[in-house]
Chain A
Amino acid sequence: MEVFVIRSLLTASLVMCASIAYSAISINGSGSTFAEPIYTKWFSDYQKKNTSAQFNYQGVGSGAGIKQLLEGTVDFAGTDDPMKTEDAAKAKETVLHIPIAMGAVVVSYNAPIEGKLKLSGSVVAKIFNGQIKKWDDVEIAKLNPKTTLPSLDIVVATRSDGSGTTAVFSEYLSKVSSDWVGKNGKTVKWFTGSLGAKGNAGVAGLIKQNPGTIGYVELVYAKENGLAFAQIENKKGEFIEASNASVSASAEGVTKEAIANNFKLSITDSSRKGAYPISSFTWMLVFEKMPKEKGAEIVNFAKWALSEDAQKTAGAINYSPVPKEIRNEALKAIAKIKLQ
């Protein structure tokens, strides 16, 4: 009886496999959880018109994505933190960083506070250092004189995996606080007593489920989950709320720098007016030399992603479009990709 069951299961799955076999090529990517929402949305839109390829992306963190790209187990990687020189050296071919969108890392929280919470860079740095432990701490109250702050303990949620979001956030902290200099990166040694979760999704989940928690997540995740997030003081002393406009403001006038650095540019702590200080690009990493079949599909997708339509879609789901000049430069770089 059991042999029969097993045999029929086997036949059934083989048949299903055979009938589903498209001639579509499978392209696999992995990495940044920040970019996961936009990739999955883009794939869904792109595949409606182009059935020659099927894209699969897994959000496992920028660190894991880069590792898998280097090991060749994925065809492209998504990252919010440019590859380190040591890692780039390990690659067999040069890796191209294509800036496909921009986003904001917000300081999100779950606390009974009316109105918008205002935080300065140094206060944020102290909270995430464990130095400010209560919501009604003097320093927080100073920035929010008209708001009643609860007397809860602050529970800090961070990333436990290698994350581009962490890299961006900690880089910002290192620019606004001397305590954080040199401590930034995809993984940070957080203080004892903070919580760790996997992916932007994990941190958002922690914040959502536990009152009193504060954490850093990409804007998309905070908005999708109805989480409150703070207005952060930028270099000009303005308290800015993250939005498409304020993120784009961070990227004003950086085209030359971007090109000079092969698009690997950090835009945190911008000194522009109206800029949100914890903004960043997110990149799609591909090799400059790719095998013909897969490479062609990837190139087509990348070109489409940088088009007006795709960038507008991104804008609609809380990602900021890449400034036009930078996009044009990126398209030029993509044109140089060799397919063999």
Chain B
Amino acid sequence: MSRTSQPYLLALKRRKIKNNFMIGLIVLLSVLAVIPLFMVFFHIVRNGFASLNFDFFTKLPAPLGEPNGGMANSILGSLILITFASLIAVPIGVLSGLYLSEYKNDRLASVLRWTVDLLMSIPSIVIGLFIYTLIVLPMKSFSALAGGSALALLMFPIVAKTTEEVLKLTPIHIREAGLALGLSRWRVILFVVLRGKSSAVMTGVVLALGRVAGETAPLLVTAFGNRNWPKSLTEPTPSLPVQIYNYAISPYENWHSQAWAGALTLVTLIFVINIVTRLIFSKDGLSKSHL
């Protein structure tokens, strides 16, 4: 039809109305997406801030129902657990990622890659139960060891995957240069390839940390919980997420406010980790990888 005929103009009008409607709908829905985000932040900050005080960061939990007390032991416990988990997951994860990127065509490598992918899909509670059977029962005790191992199992696939992706991007001539200089393959991998991408690899590690810092379910059956300071790796260990959970489902107002304060602390910690990651990423000029 001609550009100025009646039917065309009519149809055009309809299309324009539909266009405005749909675009409006899209914008509306997008705004809708942001609302819960703001609400969650708002409440965490408002309620958490109100209960943050010096006690919270330095005191142990008070007997049930009594006022005051803090979550100091849980914060320390979480730090211990994350550190322990990293000590296991980082070396194994980085080396696995290395192996996968260098020997990508080996049969063993494919099996490993497959395993890493599968591990990513396991619900965290299942991993918790596995560690319970593997470590808690034989040891006859809940422990930071068990909790850290469960967290390590959760961190490992993320670290391995990121390392593999990052190292795959190393241009081949760097490897060839290393080999040309007479270095053995292993030395090339460790000293040349890895060193070049170390900050990107670290980013993967830090991202995995951020994810694991908030894990609750597996810790419920491995590290359990403790009202005292964590003293050794072979004892039940308190952690921030578990303590938040226990306090949230309790009926005590005082504990509820502490739960909010704990949530604020936890979320702040994770945010800091993520922002630090982003700053490093932009240095290397890589695009974001979504995990």
B231: contacting residue among A9, A26, A40, CB under 8 A: A26
CA distance A58 to B245 in the complex (A): 13
Contact with B along A309-326 (1 / 0, CB 8 A): 000000001000000000
Inter-chain contacts of B12 with A (CB < 8 A): none
B278 to chain A, nearest CB (A): 13
A54: contacting residue among B62, B80, B228, CB under 8 A: B228
Q: Which residue of A lies closest to B77 (CB)?
A: A13
By the criterion CB–CB under 8 Å, are B249 and A57 in contact? no
B216 to chain A, nearest CB (A): 13
Q: Which residue of A lies closest to B79 (CB)?
A: A13
By the criterion CB–CB under 8 Å, are B137 and A73 in contact? yes
CA distance A73 to B137 in the complex (A): 7
Q: Is there a chain A Cβ closer than 8 Å to B47's Cβ?
A: no
**Chain A residues with a Cβ closer than 8 Å to the other chain, count:** 42
Interface of A is mostly: helix
Inter-chain contacts of A3 with B (CB < 8 A): 202
B225: contacting residue among A58, A197, A198, CB under 8 A: A58
Interface of B is mostly: loop
CA distance A272 to B86 in the complex (A): 62
A50 to chain B, nearest CB (A): 14
Within 8 A of A (CB), among B233-267: 235-236, 249-252
CA distance A10 to B136 in the complex (A): 24
Q: Is there a chain B Cβ closer than 8 Å to A167's Cβ?
A: no
By the criterion CB–CB under 8 Å, are B229 and A26 in contact? no
CA distance A16 to B79 in the complex (A): 11
By the criterion CB–CB under 8 Å, are A16 and B63 in contact? no
By the criterion CB–CB under 8 Å, are A208 and B251 in contact? yes
Most-contacted residue by chain B among A2, A9, A72 (CB, 10 A)? A2
Q: A17-25, A79-87, A136-144: which lies at the B interface?
A: A17-25
Q: Which residue of A lies closest to B66 (CB)?
A: A41
By the criterion CB–CB under 8 Å, are B252 and A2 in contact? no
By the criterion CB–CB under 8 Å, are A56 and B227 in contact? yes
Chain B contact-residue range equals 35 or more
B77 to chain A, nearest CB (A): 10
Q: Is there a chain A Cβ closer than 8 Å to B276's Cβ?
A: yes
By the criterion CB–CB under 8 Å, are B136 and A73 in contact? yes
CA distance A9 to B86 in the complex (A): 11
Inter-chain contacts of A30 with B (CB < 8 A): 224
Q: A97-105, A169-177, A199-207, A247-255: which lies at the B interface?
A: A199-207
CA distance A317 to B251 in the complex (A): 17
Q: Is there a chain A Cβ closer than 8 Å to B125's Cβ?
A: no
Q: Is there a chain B Cβ closer than 8 Å to A148's Cβ?
A: no
By the criterion CB–CB under 8 Å, are B251 and A201 in contact? yes
Inter-chain contacts of B83 with A (CB < 8 A): 6, 9-10, 13
Q: Is there a chain B Cβ closer than 8 Å to A51's Cβ?
A: no
Given A26-B231, A41-B63: A58 in contact with B251 (beta carbons within 8 A): no
A317 to chain B, nearest CB (A): 8
Inter-chain contacts of B87 with A (CB < 8 A): 10
Given A73-B136, A202-B249: A28 in contact with B227 (beta carbons within 8 A): no
Q: Which residue of B lies closest to A222 (CB)?
A: B251
CA distance A139 to B135 in the complex (A): 54
Given A6-B83, A225-B251: A71 in contact with B140 (beta carbons within 8 A): yes
Within 8 A of A (CB), among B78-102: 79-80, 82-83, 86-87
B33 to chain A, nearest CB (A): 28
Inter-chain contacts of B82 with A (CB < 8 A): 9
Q: Is there a chain B Cβ closer than 8 Å to A128's Cβ?
A: no
By the criterion CB–CB under 8 Å, are B231 and A22 in contact? yes
By the criterion CB–CB under 8 Å, are B231 and A205 in contact? no
Q: Is there a chain A Cβ closer than 8 Å to B141's Cβ?
A: yes
Inter-chain contacts of B62 with A (CB < 8 A): 44
Q: Is there a chain B Cβ closer than 8 Å to A130's Cβ?
A: no
Interface residues of A (CB under 8 A from B): 1-3, 6, 9-10, 12-13, 16-17, 20-22, 26, 28, 30, 36-37, 40-41, 43-44, 54, 56-58, 71-73, 197-199, 201-202, 204-205, 208, 220-221, 224-225, 317
12 A-B residue pairs with CB within 8 Å: A2-B202, A12-B79, A17-B231, A26-B231, A26-B235, A28-B226, A40-B227, A41-B66, A56-B227, A73-B140, A205-B250, A224-B252
